[in-house]
């Protein structure tokens, strides 16, 4: 059972002063601002707690060996806990080994089926996917439009797999037709190329498109612009950066589901620190929550609070 982030943050206020311990934070990889902001949140927690935070992330999410090398670098720095966004199934087995060696592990953003970390701080991805699907259903209701393209990131990435499953389930329940569901890869460049390969043969015969993360959203947006379809078909995606924020203001994007990466990084580091202090009663899963970003609310201060950490807007 997931604990809402706001409830857990009340507990964090009681965490005592730190003793200078080192906590390593290793992202899944890629150039998306999402991972940069996770690092910002992690380091903010470290400053407040007096903990040195070493933040590293591979160049791409497919760089499994690169992530393992970064984890080894963190261990070489004698960090006493690890916050990790696993980018390979074998991390599940390795987590058990690390924790038996006395290195507590907190997962962030995603998990692995065979893993048993101290805790997982992440979006409830299936619920967030269903929320995106519900928005598509509502916006198409009564229009007679029902053809949806469901873009996917990469098979085996637990977080986006769950978002895609949530969307697909809600669309199927509403009787909408998924006319294509290609995998786009983990970079903006691969997403642009693969989305064009999927969309061009449809010749505009689709009414909405869903994208499950920042890179697929940006790459697909570029394709819609190239095909002259931006703003003509509904686009519902995940995550935000300055380019996507601008595209929404211009009407090219209908809605974005914002995760809360700053809060993820902050909460995960605080959890790891509590573990080092002998406080082992934390929940196994914490839902960091999501926020809907639309053209109607994109200038509200609460929305900008979540966007500013993504480099998307200034409050």
**Span 96-112, pLDDT tens digits:** 889 888 899 999 999 88
Q: Which residues lie across from 22 on neighbouring strands?
A: 52
Inform me whether the pLDDT recorded for 20 exceeds 90: no
Task: Check residues 121 and 93 and name the one with the higher pLDDT.
Answer: 121
Cα–Cα distance measured from residue 235 to residue 308, given in angstroms and rounded to the nearest whole number: 22
Q: What pLDDT does residue 17 have?
A: 43
Q: At what angle do helices 33-49 and 261-276 cross, to 10 degrees?
A: 40
Residue 224 has pLDDT above 90, yes or no: yes
Give pairs for 16-21: CB < 8 Å, separation 24+. Answer: 16/277, 17/49, 17/50, 18/49, 18/50, 18/51, 18/273, 19/50, 20/50, 20/51, 20/52, 21/51, 21/52, 21/79, 21/80, 21/81, 21/273, 21/276
What pLDDT is attached to residue 306? 54
Q: What is the mean pLDDT of residues 24-42?
A: 90
Cα dihedral 100, 106, 109, 113, rounded to 10, equals 30
CATH 3.40.50.2300 residue spans of the chain? 2-122+260-287, 125-258
Record the pTM: 0.85
Burial of 6 (0-12, 13-18, 19+ CB in 10 A): exposed
CATH superfamily of the domain spanning 2-122+260-287: Response regulator (3.40.50.2300)
Mean pLDDT across the chain, nearest whole number? 88
125-258 has CATH 3.40.50.2300 classification = yes
């Amino acid at each position: 059972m997931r604990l809402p982030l706001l409830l857990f943050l009340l507990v964090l206020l009681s965490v005592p002063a730190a003793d200078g311990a080192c906590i390593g934070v290793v992202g899944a990889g890629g150039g998306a601002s999402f991972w940069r902001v996770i690092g910002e949140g992690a380091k903010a927690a470290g400053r407040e707690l007096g903990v040195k935070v070493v933040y590293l992330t591979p160049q791409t999410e497919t760089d499994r060996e690169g992530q393992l090398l970064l984890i080894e670098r963190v261990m070489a720095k004698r960090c006493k806990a690890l916050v990790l966004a696993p980018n390979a199934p074998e991390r599940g087995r390795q987590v058990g080994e690390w924790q038996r060696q006395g290195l507590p592990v907190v997962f962030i953003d995603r998990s692995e089926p065979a893993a048993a970390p101290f805790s997982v701080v992440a979006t409830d991805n299936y619920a967030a996917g269903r929320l995106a699907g519900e928005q598509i259903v509502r916006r198409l209701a009564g229009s007679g439009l029902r053809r949806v393209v469901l873009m996917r990131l990469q098979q085996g990435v637990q977080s986006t797999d769950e978002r895609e499953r949530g969307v697909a389930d809600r669309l199927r329940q509403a009787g909408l037709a998924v006319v294509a569901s290609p995998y786009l890869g983990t970079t903006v460049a691969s997403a642009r190329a693969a989305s064009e390969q999927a969309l061009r043969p449809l010749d505009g015969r689709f009414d909405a498109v869903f994208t499950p993360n920042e890179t697929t959203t940006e790459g697909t947006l570029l394709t819609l612009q190239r095909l002259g379809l931006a703003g003509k078909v509904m686009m519902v995606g995940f995550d935000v950066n300055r380019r996507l924020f601008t595209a929404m203001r211009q009407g090219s994007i209908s809605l974005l589901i914002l995760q809360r990466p700053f809060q993820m990084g902050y909460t995960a580091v605080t959890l790891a620190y509590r573990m080092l202090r002998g406080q082992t009663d934390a929940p196994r899963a914490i839902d960091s929550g999501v926020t809907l970003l639309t053209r109607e609310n994109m200038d509200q201060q609460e929305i900008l609070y979540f966007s500013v950490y993504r480099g998307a807007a200034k409050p």
